[in-house]
Chain A
Amino acid sequence: MKWAKRYVLYFRYLAYSPLLLLSGCSDTHFWLFDPKGLIADTELHYMIIDVTLMAIVIVPTTFLLIWVVWRYREKRRSAFAPEWSHSNVIEVVVWGIPLLIVGMLSYYSWRGIQAVNPYNPHALNSHGASTARSHKPLTVDVITTDWQWLFVYPNKHIAVANELVVPTGTKLHLKLTSTSVVNSFYIPQIVGQIYAMPGMRTKQSFEVDHPGSYHGFSAAFSGPGFSWMDFKLKAVPPVKFTAWIKKAGISKNTLNYASFSRFAEPTVNIERKIHYFSDVKTGLFAKVIKAVRSQRLHYVTPMAMTENMHAKIFRTHSN
Chain B
Amino acid sequence: MPVHLQGPWNELFGRLGLLLIPHYNNPVIFFAFMLVTVGGTAVLTTLTILGRWGWLWRDWLTTVDHKKIGIMYVLIGLVMLFRGFFDALMIRSQQALAVGPNSPGVLGALHGYLPPFHLDQVWTAHGMIMILLAVTPILIGMMNLIVPLQIGARDMAYPYLNALGLWLTAVSAALVMIALFVGDFSHAGWVGLAPLTELAYSPGVGVDYWIWSIQIGSIGTTLGSINIIATIIKMRAPGMKWFRLPIFTWTSMATSIIGLTSFPVLGVALSLLTFDRYLGTHFFTAGLGGDLMMYTNLFWIWGHPEVYFVVLPAFGFLSEIIPTFSRKPLFGYTTMVLASFSIAGVSWLVWLHHFFTMGASPKVLAFYSITTMLVGIPTGVKVFNWVFTMYRGRIRMEVPMLWAVTSVFLLIIGGMTGMMLSIPAINYIVHNSVFVVAHFHNMFMVITYAAFGAIVFWWPKVFGFKLDERLGRMFFWLFSTGTALVFLPMYTLGLMGMTRRLDYISHPSWWPLLLIELCGIGFYLVSVFVFLGMIYVSYRDRASNAVTADDAWGTSRSLEWLTHTPVPFYNFAVTPIVHALDEVVWRREQGTLDRQPERYTDIHMPNNTGMPIIISGFTLICGFSMVWRIYWLALVSFIAIIALVLIRSFTKNPGYVITAEAIGELERTSRPHRQTEEIENPVSMGTGGGSMPNHGAPAARHPDY
Chain A: residues with CB nearer than 8 A to chain B? Answer: 12, 15-16, 18-19, 21-22, 24-25, 29-33, 40, 42-44, 46-47, 50-51, 54, 57-58, 61-62, 64-65, 68-69, 72-74, 77-87, 90-91, 94-95, 97-99, 101-102, 105-106, 108-110, 112-119, 178, 180-182, 184, 186, 188, 192-195, 197-200, 202-203, 215, 217-228, 230, 270, 292-296, 298-311
Contacts and interface: CB of A to CB of B under 8 A. Distances in A.
B425 A115 contact: yes
Contact of A42 (B286, B374, B425): B425
A54 B415 CA distance: 9
Given A32-B495, A112-B424, A308-B108, A221 B500 contact: yes
B95 to A, nearest CB: 10
B370 A15 contact: no
A294 B288 CA distance: 5
Contact of A61 (B21, B384, B425): B384
A235 B382 CA distance: 49
Contact of B286 (A199, A219, A310): A199
23 contacts: A15-B485, A18-B516, A18-B519, A51-B420, A58-B416, A61-B384, A69-B390, A80-B392, A81-B328, A84-B328, A85-B330, A102-B377, A109-B366, A109-B425, A113-B362, A114-B362, A193-B429, A197-B293, A224-B503, A226-B501, A293-B286, A298-B200, A300-B203
Nearest to B368: A109
A204 B385 CA distance: 44
Q: Is the interface of A mostly helix, strand, loop or mixed?
A: mixed
Contact of A112 (B201, B287, B426): B426
Contact of B416 (A44, A54, A73, A215): A54
B332 interface: yes
A62 B116 CA distance: 41
User: How large, as a class, is the contact surface on chain B?
Assistant: 35 or more
A73 B330 contact: no
B412 A193 contact: no
Contact of B287 (A62, A199, A223): A199
B501 A221 contact: yes
Given A21-B515, A80-B394, A109-B370, A198 B195 contact: yes
Nearest to A123: B425
B116 A310 contact: no
B548 interface: no
B385 A31 contact: no
Given A16-B481, A68-B391, A224-B187, A194 B359 contact: yes
A114 B105 CA distance: 46
A77 B293 CA distance: 59
Contacts of B391: 68, 72
B496 A30 contact: yes
A228 B505 CA distance: 9
Given A72-B393, A109-B373, A30 B495 contact: yes
B509 interface: yes
A43 to B, nearest CB: 5
Contact of A220 (B108, B397, B422, B432): B432
Contacts of A86: 331-333
A21 B326 contact: no
Nearest to B581: A85
A184 B188 CA distance: 15
A221 to B, nearest CB: 4
A109 B405 contact: no
A109 B369 contact: yes
B64 to A, nearest CB: 38
B652 to A, nearest CB: 49
A32 B430 contact: yes
Interface of B: 6-7, 18, 21, 23, 105, 108-110, 115-118, 120, 184, 187-189, 193-196, 200-204, 285-288, 292-293, 326-333, 335, 355, 357-359, 361-362, 365-366, 369-370, 373-374, 376-377, 380-381, 383-385, 387-397, 405, 408-409, 412, 415-416, 419-420, 422-433, 477, 481, 484-485, 488-489, 492, 495-497, 499-507, 509-510, 512-513, 515-516, 519-520, 523
Contacts of B355: 195
Nearest to B484: A16
A21 B429 contact: no
Contact of B116 (A82, A184, A306): A306
A90 B366 contact: no
Given A69-B405, A222-B196, 9 more contacts: A22-B513, A69-B395, A184-B357, A192-B429, A270-B110, A299-B200, A301-B202, A306-B115, A309-B108
B496 A221 contact: no
B288 A295 contact: yes
A163 to B, nearest CB: 15
B397 A47 contact: no
Contacts of A308: 23, 108, 115
B193 A108 contact: no
A105 B426 contact: no
Contact of B193 (A19, A57, A221): A221
Contacts of B409: 62, 65
A226 B426 CA distance: 24
B486 to A, nearest CB: 10
B477 A12 contact: yes
B392 A227 contact: no
A219 B495 contact: no
B120 A224 contact: yes
B425 A25 contact: no
A51 B509 CA distance: 26
Given A18-B485, A203-B359, A295-B288, A181 B424 contact: no
Q: Which 8 A-B pairs have the closest CB atoms?
A: A192-B428, A112-B425, A295-B287, A198-B286, A31-B497, A98-B380, A308-B108, A224-B116
B335 A91 contact: yes
